[in-house]
Structure 1
Amino acid sequence: MGPAGLAVALGLAALLPAGAVPCGAQRPDSSSAAKLLGTWLYVAGAAQFPQHQVEMLLIDHAFLRLEPAAGGQELLISHYVAVGDQCFTNNLTYLEVTAGNGTLVKHAKTQQTEGMLMNTSSENLLLVQYQMQRERTYLGQYLYARNRSISTAEREEFEQHAAGLGLRAEQIVYAPWKTEVCQVKAAEGSESPHPEPVAAVTASPAPGTAGPGSAGN
């Protein structure tokens, strides 16, 4: 797996279509969009296939930065992923806010839906679920939070959502956050965040190259 694949490892792969919501969860409505602004720290990912779990194990830490876009109906998502001694960035994804239809994660170049936000019991949690369909269906989800530490109840809720996708506890990988390669504070203090050191990545997170692992299914 090359650096581009790692850099978009949290790039939110092609996701559940409308109406295919597992476990009875519902997407947040458009009124919640303003609450999504700011920094979200990567807590854990759940992947269906072993090769994707291995790739998630290479991630020390990661976070998202959500900011208003010029259109007013969109929120720009900047991704930061620390792998080894490098911090990879990607800002090609955004949330499209549609009245009465929740928020969808889309890719700015391809206009392809890449992720779906799911409701949680806490405003301090951000849950993204996806279902990539190629030769086989690939299921997974990511959990972000306002703080690196989450409660036991929040952890159990994430695991329950994973179970709703048919994922087991052993298929969940929690980020260790052992280094400070991607500097959260530096990103928060900049209108166009570029934490140091940065290896810029512009690879489009198309199916098969995005999500936890660009390795083939």
Structure 2
Amino acid sequence: MAVVRVSAVLSLVVLLPAAAFPCGAPRPQRPDNTTALKLLGTWLYVAGAAQFPQHLLEMLLIDHGHLHVEPHAGEQELLITQRVAVGDQCLANNSTYFEIAVGNSTLVKHAKTHQTVGMLMNLSSEDVLLIQYQLQRERTYLGLYLYARNLSVSTAHWEEFEHHATCLGLSEEEIVYAPWKTELCQTKETEKGNSPRMEPAAAVTASPPLGTHQPGSAGN
């Protein structure tokens, strides 16, 4: 039953774009003529934060995961294939895509309904992705997903993610860091015989190396 519920995480849920950006938080990414090239390839799942209790529980069940971004319908749409490891299963989903429109935000949309399900935020590095979402139920629930090119995320990027979470009203208890204890889900680079950009220690844990910032985790 829990594995079925995790499918909500795979599709980034049915969400509405966030309207406010408090605390000087990162703004929605404004595309330019190099945006598509920057997004292509594999992004490793590092952490998530959610106010909605069910989504928080689902994130606690995920050991590791990744996004693979590739051209879809021209330069303005990029297909997102998402895989997450839950228990002894690797669950896959390709129901969402990036929509890139010059002068507009870079949005994550559902492939069938074309409904906005997330928004890509600007960060200080091209090696990290931050997707912000807003879920409307009996009240508004906010959340974030953090992805990176490799799992050796710098102290500055951890702090940037945590600062943005705090600005959205997300507490430390609502942040979950992927443990990366197994290698159940293979990236497309691995399937093709190439190794993704991942330092040896990062294959075991998503936490930074010893001596650097150690984030707290609701999952530990």
TM-score (norm 1): 0.80
Residue in 2 aligned with 1:148?
Answer: 151
Q: Per the alignment, do residues 51 and 109 of structure 1 end up closer, same or farther by CA in structure 2, a change over 3 Å counting?
A: closer
1:22-101 alignment runs, 5 A limit: 22-24=22-24, 25-31=26-32, 32-101=35-104
Q: Which runs of 5+ in 2 are unaligned?
A: 194-220
Flag the 1:66–1:187 CA change in 2: closer, same or farther, 3 A: farther
> Please, what TM-score do these two structures have when normalized by structure 2?
0.79
CA distance in 2, matches of 1:105, 1:146: 19
More RCO (CA 8 Å, sep 6+): 1
Shift in alpha-carbon separation, 1:29–1:178, aligned structure 2, 3 A: same
The 3 A distance-change label for structure 1 pair 187 and 76 is farther
Deviations 1:113-144 (A, max 9, x none): 00000011111110001111121211110100
Which of 121, 125, 131 in structure 2 is aligned with 1:122? 125
Write the letter of the residue equivalent to 1:11: S
State whether structure 2 residue 135 is matched by structure 1 residue 132: yes
Aligned pair 1:11/2:14, yes or no?
Answer: no
Paired residues of 2:17 and 2:118 also in contact (CA < 8 A): no
State the SS of the aligned residue for 1:52: helix
Show the 5 A alignment for 1:168-183.
Answer: 168-183=171-186
Q: Which amino acid aligns with 2:86?
A: V
**96, 106, 110: which one aligns with 1:107:** 110
CA contact (8 A) 1:16 1:129 kept: no
Question: Compared with structure 1, are the counterparts of its residues 78 and 97 closer, same or farther at alpha carbon in structure 2 (3 Å cutoff)?
Answer: same
CA distance in 2, matches of 1:72, 1:128: 20
Structure 1: which 4+ aligned runs deviate by more than 4 Å?
185-188
Q: SS state of the match for residue 9, structure 1?
A: helix
Moved more, 116-125 or 46-55: 46-55
Tell me how far apart the structure 2 counterparts of residues 188 and 27 of structure 1 sit (CA, whole Å): 33
C-alpha displacement of 1:9: 1.5
Aligned residues: 190
CA separation in 1, counterparts of 2:132 and 2:146? 9
- Aligned partner of residue 156 in structure 2, secondary structure: helix
In the alignment, residue 155 of structure 1 is paired with which amino acid? W
Identical counterparts, % of pairs: 66
Cα distance between partner residues in 2 of 1:53 and 1:108: 24
Q: What is the root-mean-square deviation of aligned Cα atoms in Å?
A: 2.0
- Deviation at residue 73 of structure 1 after TM alignment: 1.3
Deviations 1:138-177 (A, max 9, x none): 1110100000121111111100010111011121000000
How far did residue 35 of structure 1 move? 0.3
Which ranges in structure 1 are unaligned for 5 or more consecutive residues? Answer: 191-217
Q: Distance in 2 between matches of 1:142 and 1:129?
A: 7
